[in-house]
Structure 1
Amino acid sequence: MCVEAAPPPSSRLTRRGVLAGAAALAGTVTVASPASASRRGTERGGTERGGDLVIQGGTLLDPATGDVTEDSVVVIEGGVVRAAGPRARVAVPKGAKTLGAHGKWVLPGLVDAHIHLSTAAEARDAVRAGVTSARSGSTNFYQDIAVRELARRLPARAPRLRAAGVFVTPDLGDTVLADPDLTPLARLRDGVRSAEALRRVVEVNLARGADVIKTRVNERAGLPDQDPLTQVYSREQLSEVVAAARRGGKGVLCHSYSEKGCHDAVTAGVLSLEHGAFVGERTLHEMRRRGTYFTPTLTAIAGLAASSDPVLAERGRAYLPVLKRAVLAAHELGVELAAGTDSSGGKVVPVGREVELMREAGLPALDAIRTATTAAARLLGVERTVGRLARGFAGDAIVVDGDPLADVSVLKTPVRVVRAGVAV
């Protein structure tokens, strides 16, 4: 059977069914019925109402403006910031639950723009590390879609998440078992390469509720038997992925390494370039012109250098300085940078480490912080509610023991995390 002869993604496989299966894989709670949720008082338009909390006494940093407010007060009601500013100008509700931050700094919750969350435990660990919003880098069986739903109903247990569903890649492997509408692709001798096959994977992802689409242009750096400079998709193939995603109103993030691969991805219209170690000046200028984001995942590349595998260790040592130079060049040209750790496999690296590496690459401290707050929020399309502690924004915050403008490394170890008005 040709892929083009296959019917549209089946409506018989319901979104609720996908969520139930993905939730089982992710180890999350299943979606409760409206009646039972109402009995628990947790159902508020499909989400759990956030908490009420006042964070007071800390030094508040607004990444958008760079303003620093000493002895600040942040009032959160129902998981949303109602007021934030100096104590003298902000009224504290009587009887409000308070979190003292005296001698500490208060910032909005951080954003990890490239993370793989496949289990409830990973989602929990991400929140504890200060990540209150994130974008998935894909999962094998839609687990990220289940984690997204968990975050909506139990905010303190997971970051709000933009889910990518399954990876658009030539070899789907066991991912064809994630969905009956993907199984016909297992017959393709050359894998997911034709225009029809590429569109099919995108369409199935969209039918199952993906918020973004993840694809690749190069092989992986983290596998010693692959060459990350080898290109697996052409610009024309990537354009098919982008066009199919746009028909569903979604953007595409693209795994990349080689300069040609990066350039093909950008000119094909991807929303963000991931990794991109060897991106060149020509492509960076094109990114600036198009508004393409750069998520370099410095953390992941630095991690390779510590590998016990000699091939990966050498790759990490060679790639990291090249990528740092690319990050600084992108910043100087005005390309938007977003922090992403590429955490996966049960280990969640604090996104504060990515901010630290951005700073090491040459970004000023405030701009490095913005890559994990305001800039990353824009990439996720949540800039009106995430990335600041201002009226109307999400009641997500971290409290750190030190001045992040003097030492961004304090972001790696927040002393308190608040998610939707609930102290985690």
Structure 2
Amino acid sequence: MRSLFTALLSLSMMQAFAQKTYVQCGKLIDGSGAAPRQSVTVVIEGRNITAIQNGYTTGGAGDVTIDLKDKTVLPGLIDCHVHIESQNSRTAFADGFRLSDADIAYRAAGYARKTLQAGFTTVRDLGGSGVNISLRNAINQGLTEGPNILTAGLPISATGGHMDESVGLREDIRPAPGPEKGVANGREELVKAVRYQFKKGADVIKIASTGGVLDLSKDGSGAQFTVDEIKAVVETAKDYGMRVACHAHGAEGIKRAILGGVSSIEHGTYMDNEGMNLAKQHGTWYVPTIIAGKSVADSAKLPGFFPPVIARKAAEVGPVIQQTFGKAYKAGVKIAFGTDAGVYAHGKNALEFQYMVEAGMPAMAAIQSATANAAELLGISNERGTVATGKIADLIAVDGDPLQDVKLLSDVSFVMKEGKVYKKK
């Protein structure tokens, strides 16, 4: 009896494993930059793409057919710069003192669902409280829904830098943090800070080589690490199998970060011609976050939304990012899609496409920045970023042609992540 039961169970498992999904695509933009294909079927087994067939095909009994013949299908989108734990608001500053890790986790789970429903099946989270690591794990374990997350855990900056949460506050409220809390100076402390994040489960390291906008420091553009300090971070991260993303607004801090060997410059507001040339020479990626700049500039106009020092910086920095992006794209700097989600409302990530196109990037190149290019920056090209045989089945669909109207990417009608459908309307 036991052997019969075992045989039946085995057969049942084999049948489940053998089930295929046939996604019939009216138009397929595969993310590589190649011309769209008309009337194709993507065949999926489990979580992987096993074939891309011309024409519309269906399987046998037990297989699943998904009819998207009236839609354009693309790879799941990738946002290389999000903050999945938080969302900017009038109460954001006070929330830092009021919310517990549990409060943050519940909110983060909601933001993750919104992000996935918006068609972003992979994100790189560039810093939070550490709850981001737990959220990544919970999504991977199927305990909650959200995108595939690569996270930096706690970001790293210098004393008085962008991630030093004690700036502007009494020490009895926010004691001066050290390397274990992401604030470090000099090679020795920075090596220790990187190792702490590896120990806690980070996938990537995020540093700040300049000040920032949404902190209480007076200057958002001054350089705050030496080249040697940045090299210490990059070398240590490399030893632990991690890449380094660098928040940088000012021209000098951008150049130091590139010379120090970071993988990407985030924001890059005041990147000058020398910085662009260095980025090209070193193969450094640029992640512009135009939407974040526009969002903070708009919020700065609302009385009382930000403390005065932040409002001033937001008004100065915000409007510049789109202009810099346009120059960098035309200069040939490598671009990967990123939005700084959390600085604006989660789920609206696709607005970035519109701003990229406004600045002179063709729609196909903008899409590629959020698919093949983003996957290359994150080191996941072997799994994600394009619709190709052997890749993970991350697919989205929109009505109409986003190459003619890139705004359509803000209204995703179908989302599949790792072979499972999360949205279909």
Does structure 1 conserve the Cα–Cα contact (< 8 Å) formed by 2:28 and 2:73?
Answer: yes
**In structure 2, what is the Cα distance between the partners aligned to 1:295 and 1:330?**
11
Q: Give 1:81 deviation, angstroms.
A: 0.9
Q: Deviations over 1:97-149 (max 9, x none)?
A: 22221321110100010111232222211111111111111121x22222222
Using the alignment, how far apart are the partners of 2:74 and 2:282 within structure 1?
Answer: 30
Contact 1:127 1:156 in 2 (8 A): no
Distance change (3 Å), C-alpha of 1:187 and 1:318: closer
1:160 to 148, 152, 171: 148
Partner of 1:274: 266
Q: Provide closer, same or farther for how the CA distance between residues 196 and 54 of structure 1 changes in structure 2, counting only shifts above 3 A.
A: same
Does the 8 A contact of 1:164 with 1:213 survive in 2?
A: yes
Q: Distance in 1 between matches of 2:18 and 2:155?
A: 32
Alignment partner for residue 323 of structure 1, among 316, 321, 324? 321
Answer yes or no: is 1:123 the counterpart of 2:112.
yes
1:321, distance to aligned residue in structure 2 (A): 5.0
Structure 1 residue 362, shift from structure 2 partner: 0.5
Q: Which structure 1 segments of 5+ residues have no match?
A: 1-40, 176-182
Q: Is the CA contact (8 Å cut-off) linking 1:395 and 1:421 kept in structure 2?
A: yes
Residues in 2 aligned to 1:51 and 1:423: alpha-carbon distance in whole angstroms: 15
Q: Which residue of 2 aligns with 1:388?
A: 386
Displacement of 1:300 in angstroms is: 0.6
Gapped runs of 5+ residues in structure 2? 1-9, 86-107, 167-174
Query: Of the candidates 130, 138, 162, which is equivalent to residue 127 of structure 2?
Result: 138
- C-alpha separation in 1, matches of 2:18 and 2:324: 40
Q: Does 1:201 align with 2:193?
A: yes
Distance in 1, Cα, partners of 2:347 & 2:63: 34
Is the Cα contact below 8 Å between 2:80 and 2:336 reproduced in 1?
Answer: yes
Report the Cα distance in structure 2 between the residues aligned to 1:397 and 1:51, rounded to whole angstroms: 18
Match of 1:104 in 2: 71
Q: Percent identity?
A: 29
CA contact (8 A) 1:109 1:131 kept: yes
Pair 326,93 (structure 1): closer, same or farther in 2 beyond 3 Å: farther
Instruction: Work out the CA distance in 2 between the residues paired with 1:345 and 1:329.
Output: 24
User: What pairs up with 1:17-416 in 2 under 5 angstroms?
Assistant: 53-87=21-55, 92-118=59-85, 119-140=108-129, 142-154=130-142, 157-171=145-159, 186=178, 192-223=184-215, 226-307=218-299, 308=302, 309=305, 318-344=316-342, 347-416=345-414
Any idea what SS the aligned residue of 1:157 has? coil
Q: Secondary structure at the match of 1:305?
A: helix
Relative to structure 1, is the Cα distance of residues 317 and 170 closer, same or farther in structure 2, using a 3 angstrom cutoff? Answer: closer
Measured in 2, the distance between the counterparts of 1:115 and 1:284 equals 23
The 1:346/1:371 distance shift into structure 2, 3 A limit, reads closer
Task: State the distance in 2 between where 1:145 and 1:193 align.
Answer: 24
Whichever residue aligns with residue 368 of structure 2, its letter is: R
Kept in 2, the 8 Å contact 1:218–1:233? The answer is yes
Aligned residue pairs total 368
Provide, for residues 202-227 of structure 1, a one-character-per-residue CA deviation record: whole Å limited to 9, x for no partner. Answer: 01111222111001011111346542
Which residue of structure 1 lines up, in the alignment, with residue 7 of structure 2? Answer: none
Change (3 A) 1:276 1:174: closer
Q: 1:401 touches 1:415 (CA, 8 Å); kept in 2?
A: yes
User: Matches of 1:374 and 1:50 in 2, distance apart?
Assistant: 29
* Contact 1:54–1:74 (8 Å) recurs in 2: yes
Letter in 1 for 2:298: A
**What amino acid is aligned across from residue 266 of structure 1 in structure 2?**
I
What SS does the corresponding residue of 1:74 show, helix, strand or coil? strand
Secondary structure of the residue aligned to 2:225 is coil
Supply the distance in 1 between the matched residues of 2:32 and 2:72 (Cα, whole angstroms).
16
Instruction: List per-residue Cα deviations over 1:247-273 (Å, max 9, x = no partner).
Output: 212211011001111111111111100
Aligned to 2:102: none
Q: Provide the aligned C-alpha RMSD in A.
A: 3.0
Q: Distance in 2 between matches of 1:156 and 1:422?
A: 14
Q: Secondary structure at the match of 2:375?
A: helix
Give the 3 Å change call, closer, same or farther, for CA 258–244 of structure 1 in structure 2: same
Deviation at 1:239, TM superposition (A): 2.0
* Counterpart-to-counterpart distance in 1, 2:144 and 2:419: 9
Instruction: From the superposition, tell whether residues 313 and 306 of structure 1 become closer, same or farther in structure 2 (CA, over 3 Å).
Output: farther
Instruction: State the alpha-carbon separation in 2 of the partners of residues 82 and 384 from structure 1.
Output: 14
CA-to-partner distance for each residue in 1:351-399, whole Å, 9 max, x for gaps? Answer: 3111221111110111011111110010011112211111111111111
**Gap change, CA 1:85 and 1:277, over 3 Å in 2:** farther
Q: Is 2:292–2:343's contact at 8 Å kept on the other side of the alignment?
A: no
Give the stretch that moved more between structures: 76-85 or 375-384.
Answer: 76-85
User: Do the aligned partners of 1:51 and 1:421 also contact (CA within 8 Å) in 2?
Assistant: no
8 A Cα contact 1:76 1:421, kept in partner: yes
Q: Distance in 1 between matches of 2:337 and 2:314?
A: 18
Write out per-residue CA displacement over residues 67-107 of structure 1, whole angstroms, 9 at most, x where no aligned residue: 2222221122101111224225x563443222221321110
Q: Distance in 2 between matches of 1:57 and 1:186?
A: 52
Q: In the alignment, is the contact (CA less than 8 A) between 1:52 and 1:422 conserved in 2?
A: no
Partner of 1:179: none
